[in-house]
Amino acid sequence: MYTSKALSIILIAAGSQVALAEGPDLGQPLTSDEIPFYATYVMPDGRGLPEGSGTPAEGAEIFAAQCTECHGITGTEGPVMPPVGPNEIWAKPAGSYWPYATTLFDYIRRAMPLDHPKSLSNDQAYALAAFILERNGVIDADTAMTAETLPMVEMPNRDNFVDVWATQGAKPW
């Protein structure tokens, strides 16, 4: 239809002004210092990782003090989704199943321990990620996790995923 085509060209030409006219335009400017860390996510390539560092040994101490009641003494017993595998409870243990190690740091920092989320420092979150990775045999005991080393970790299951959205969109698998 010629007219509707012409109309859409006009709309495209008018650009953002048309878009703004859809609503009352009441959004207030948001500056970067108003954005809390949990409103973003550490990306698989390491973008968003803060300064800091932690070793598996440091992580072991924090884990023993704050995590074992839910995840077990060695991280395999549970009862809650043990992050160390293989274990008898959870087929997808975080430290070996997840495709990217960056997720461990981010998730622990924002969500764990469940009853005191956001209580851990960046160093502690690095150390806990290091501990869980070391227990899963993904890194060795001497490697500290930092903004540089964490994104370099090769997770063993990474290439074992099919991205369904990329291959077939919303069509259910």
Partner 1 sequence: MTNDINEPTALDYAAGGGLLSRRMLLGTIAASGGAMAAGLAVPHRAGAQGVVPEWVTVAGHRARGYGMPAEAEAPVQRAIIEPWQDVAPEFSLSGTPLQRLRGTITPSGLHFEVHHGGRPDVDPDQHRLMIHGLVDRPLQFDLNSLERYPMVTATHFLECAGNSLVNAVMPEPLQAGCDVIHGLLSNSEWSGVPMSVLMDEAGVQPEGKWVVAVGSDGPSLARSIPIEKIMEDGILALYQNGERIRPEQGYPMRLLLPGFEGNMNVKWLTSLWVTDAPAHTKHESGEYTEILADGSSVKFTFAIGVKSLITHPSATMTMSGPGFYEISGLAWSGVGKVARVEVSADGGASWADAELVEPVLPRALTRFRMPWQWDGSPTILMSRAHDDTGALQPARPDWKARYHPSNFLHYNAIQPWNVTAEGEVQNVYL
Tell me which residues touch ligand HEC (CB under 6 A). Answer: 66-67, 69-71, 80-81, 83, 90, 93-94, 104, 108, 112-115, 128, 132
Amino acid at 35: I
Which partner, partner 1, ligand HEC, none, binds residue 66 by CB below 5 to 8 Å per kind? ligand HEC
The full 3-state SS of 54-86, as one line of letters, equals: ECHHHHHHHHHHHCHHHHCCCCCCCCCCCCCCC
CB 22 within 8 A of CB 14: no
Site stretch for partner 1 (CB under 8 A), options 49-57, 123-131, 142-150, 162-170:
162-170
Q: Which residues does 40 contact at the CB level (< 8 Å), separation at least 6? A: 48
Which neighbouring-strand residues pair with 53? Answer: 146
Which partner, partner 1, ligand HEC, none, binds residue 119 by CB below 5 to 8 Å per kind? none
Q: Which residues would be at the binding site for partner 1 (CB under 8 A)?
A: 16, 19-20, 22-32, 34-35, 38-44, 69-70, 79-81, 91-92, 94, 97-100, 102-103, 106-107, 110-112, 114-115, 117-118, 157, 160-166, 170-173
